[in-house]
Each structure stands twice: as C-alpha cells, then as structure tokens.
Amino acid sequence: MKVLFVEDEPVLIEEMVDYFSTQGYLCESASTYARAEEKIETYNYDIVIIDIGLPDGSGMNLIPRVSRSSEETGIVIVSAKNSLTDKLEGLNLGADDYLTKPFYVEELNARLHALYRRKMLKGNRHIIFDDFVIDPLSKTLSFKNKEISLTKKEYQLLLYFIVNKERVVSKPSIAEHIWGDYFDQSDNFDAVYVHLMNLRKKLNQTSGKDYIKTVYGMGYRFSAA
C-alpha cells in the first residue's frame, strides 16, 4: 500500500509518515505543489492525501492529475477550513474523502482503512481467490484453512498482484510499489525475480495451480477466480 502525502507543514508530514509507516504503509511525501505534480506523474500511488492550501498552488488542481495518471488511486483531501463548497468541489473533482484540519491521525487512518476496503476489499473483511484467503489484519494467507507462511516481501507482492488482478504489471512498477522511490533505477531487478519466484512456488506448491503468468518482455499477470 503506497501512499503519498502532499502537505507543506513539516511537523505534520513527519507525524503522518511516522504513524503510517508503523501501520505498514509505504509512505512518501511532497511539500510543494510542483514536487507533488512531479511525483504523481512519475510514480504510482494507491492513495494520495492532498492538503488544499499549498504554498505554490491549490491542491485542488492536483485531483484531476491524479485521476488522469491512474484511475485506481484513492484521493483524500485535507483542508484547514471546514468549507462546504471546498468539500463539494473536491468531491466533485473526484476525491474519495474529505477531512478537516486539525485531525487525529487515527481518524485519517480510519478513513484510509475505509477507502482501502472500498477499493480492494469491496466491503469484505477478507480477500478471497479460489481456495485462498487473505486476512489483512492478521497478515496471513491460508489455503483451505491451512496457513501458508509468507515473508513480508512475498506478502506485499501478492497484494500488489491482487490489486492488479488480470493486468500485466511490469517489473519496474512492482519494484516501485515494494521498495518505493528509493529504489534505484540503475539497480537490476534480480531481487524482484527471486521474490516473485518464491511466491509463485508457494502458491503453486499448495494449490497445484499457476497464478502468475509471465508475459515475456512486459511483466507478469496474476489471474484467479
């Protein structure tokens, strides 16, 4: 779960990044409109949290850009004033939720959770494909009620595949979602290969099926019922 915080108050950024990192999110931040724009164009996020009042522009204008760059991305607006027009404008532009400053990080967390549920759990508590069940709370994968132990990277990888079910995901985008933008482009993707194969093997050994297909030269595609 990769999240971008667009916010100019350093203290708030720090608080949010600290908190949500411990919650298992992959956190990045942008403190200006320009930087946010750049990051949004370059990378892919699952959720973007946008403060409206930025020093060099209104966060409102970022909303369409996010939607354009990826339909999947959830958008939460944060604003200092509790203005109904602001709220409506934001939601109209395509934001998924709205929060007024000041707020508790716990509340933002609850909203992100709700958004997460709507986006990928679609109202369910578990993610289910075939005889597999993923419980995000206990971070476990099980096959016919028997737990399959996954490492952190394998678990993240699996979730990324689930979100992009039936779609071809490229190796660079996998790397970006699992390592963040600290990931050096010049690095080779050997690590991705290894984790991918380990996950593939575990899924295959327990079910006998091949869930992850290789699309030569393009990436991988995860398919399941």
Partner DNA sequence: TTTAATTCTTTAGAATTTCTTTAGAATCAG
Partner DNA sequence: CTGATTCTAAAGAAATTCTAAAGAATTAAA
Least distance in angstroms from the C-beta of 176 to DNA:
13
Strand duo 2-6 + 26-30: pairing: parallel
Instruction: State the binding string over 154-193 for its own copies (x if CB under 8 A, else -).
Output: ------------xxx-x-xx--x--------x--------
User: How far is 96 from 115, CA to CA, in rounded Å?
Assistant: 8
Contact 129, 108 (CB under 8 A): no
In the bound state with its own copies, the residue whose beta carbon lies nearer, of 44 and 198, is 198
User: How far is 41 from 49, CA to CA, in rounded Å?
Assistant: 15
Give 175's Cβ-side CA count (13 Å radius): 18
Alpha carbon of 11 to those of 86, 195, 210: distances in Å?
A: 24, 36, 47
User: How far is 69 from 91, CA to CA, in rounded Å?
Assistant: 18
Least distance in angstroms from the C-beta of 192 to its own copies:
12
Based on the shown chain and the rule CB under 8 A, indicate whether residue 10 belongs to the binding site for its own copies.
no
Among 30, 154, 174, 203, binds DNA (CB under 7 A): 154
List residues binding DNA (CB under 7 A): 149, 151-154, 171, 179, 187, 190-191, 193-197, 200-201, 214-219
List residues binding its own copies (CB under 8 A): 18, 21-24, 104-107, 109-111, 113-114, 117, 125, 137-139, 151-152, 166-168, 170, 172-173, 176, 185, 215-218, 221
